[in-house]
Amino acid sequence: MSPIIHTHSLRVRYGETDQMSVVYHTNYLNWFEVGRTELIRAAGLSYRQLEEKGVLLPLTDASISYKKPAKYDDVVEIRTHVELISPLRLTFAYEIVRLPDEELLVTGKTMHVFTTTDLRPIRLSKTEPEVYAWLEAQHKGEQL
């Protein structure tokens, strides 16, 4: 089965572009964060609530591949899914496409570990089994 893909659309703001009206490269990483925040929100849980439960998701690695530039006032869609999950780690994969033609602009991944608020690794499957089960179901393409 394929993972469930969560989507979030936004319009490129002027402040996200350079003098050529092209989105500045680091903004795509910010959009990745928007994608994973909205994916977690789809579980009925915000990042803030996860942190209040004592669980953090620090970033350990990021990769990004630029295909074509987004420009000022474009409408783009961030497509996010859980690519890999284990009790200790989580990898999200992303595609950013321009709408309405769905032209692929950027692909990327971010890797995270589950930790306590003092950055000690934890097994999410034991600490927050419901959250872990939901993320695992997303990866497997299952609805809970």
pLDDT reported for residue 100: 98
Give me the pLDDT at residue 80, please.
98
Cα 116 to Cα 114: distance, rounded to the nearest angstrom: 7
Domain positions in the chain: 6-140
Question: What would the pLDDT profile of 32-89 be if each residue is shown by its tens digit?
Answer: 999 999 999 988 888 899 999 999 999 999 999 999 999 999 999 999 999 999 999 9
Q: Quick one: how far is CA 36 from the chain centroid?
A: 3
Q: Output the six-digit token pair for 5.
A: 């893909």
CATH superfamily of 6-140: Hotdog Thioesterase (3.10.129.10)
Quick one: pLDDT at residue 123?
97
Whether 1 shows a pLDDT value over 80: the answer reads no
* Virtual torsion, Cα 141, 138, 106, 63, nearest 10 deg: -120
Q: Which residues are catalytic?
A: 18
